[in-house]
Structure 1
Amino acid sequence: MDEPELWRHMSGAPKDGNRILVTIRQSEQGPAEVDLAYWSNGDQFGGEGWRSSDSSPGRIVEYAEPELKCWMPMPSANLARTSFPSPWEGKDAPELDGSGI
């Protein structure tokens, strides 16, 4: 992949089951984080939505849309890098369909 590693708005995230990196919003549970996630069409473990199973072996985590701030394609292998990129800390993009309230 020749594209630079840039965070992108979640509205464009692929919902084809491929794994991507996501920034999880800061909340009362802790600071913003990066996780490896994928879109699931739903199965015996839950309904349609964003999931992560790689950060906690044996445990599937489901994310609600508002919990995820932005996404990035999986970076190409780089043996010099030993961790995920930093979470995106910029201002939120304007809401696409209103405030959500």
Structure 2
Amino acid sequence: MAEPDQWRHMASAPKNGSRILVTIRPSEQGAAEVDLAYWSHGDQFGPEGWRASDSSPGRIIAYPEPELKCWMPMPAANLSRSSMPSPWEGEDEQQLDGSGI
């Protein structure tokens, strides 16, 4: 099983509604950052897609697929870690999870 604190390709991210950490690509709005997100199958508030976990009815924060670079499972509680992991800053061509595909 892969290490829980490893960044992985978005293609392998779970689309079952579970919360995951994602690296948001840098843009003219700011540097790359990490957010907590989940896959929504769509509802009366918005279409299917990635949403920030702090979305609420009437205030959906949606992430288009190209905006998300990679993902990581939620780390286990660790009282010695005081912040989220750093965003992935490697090249897109590099393997994030070691797969040869």
Q: When the two structures are superposed, what TM-score results if normalisation uses the length of structure 2?
A: 0.83
2:97 is matched with none
**What secondary structure, in the 3-state scheme, does the structure 2 residue paired with 1:11 have?**
helix
Percent identity reads 74
TM-align CA RMSD: 2.1
Tell whether the 8 Å contact from 2:4 to 2:73 is kept in structure 1 after alignment: no
Deviations 1:55-95 (A, max 9, x none): x778431000000000000000000111110000000037x
2:21 is matched with 21
Number of aligned residues: 93
Please tell me the residue identity of whatever aligns with 1:88.
W
Aligned counterparts of 1:57 and 1:42: Cα–Cα separation in 2: 13
Tell whether the 8 Å contact from 2:46 to 2:60 is kept in structure 1 after alignment: no
1:12 is matched with 12
Q: When the two structures are superposed, what TM-score results if normalisation uses the length of structure 1?
A: 0.83
Structure 1 runs of 4+ aligned residues shifted over 2 Å read 1-4, 56-60
2:48 is matched with 48
Q: In the TM superposition, what are the counterparts of 1:58-69 in structure 2 within 5 Å?
A: 59-69=59-69
**What secondary structure, in the 3-state scheme, does the structure 1 residue paired with 2:47 have?**
coil
- TM superposition shift of 1:4: 4.3
Structure 1 alignment gaps of length 5 or more: 95-101
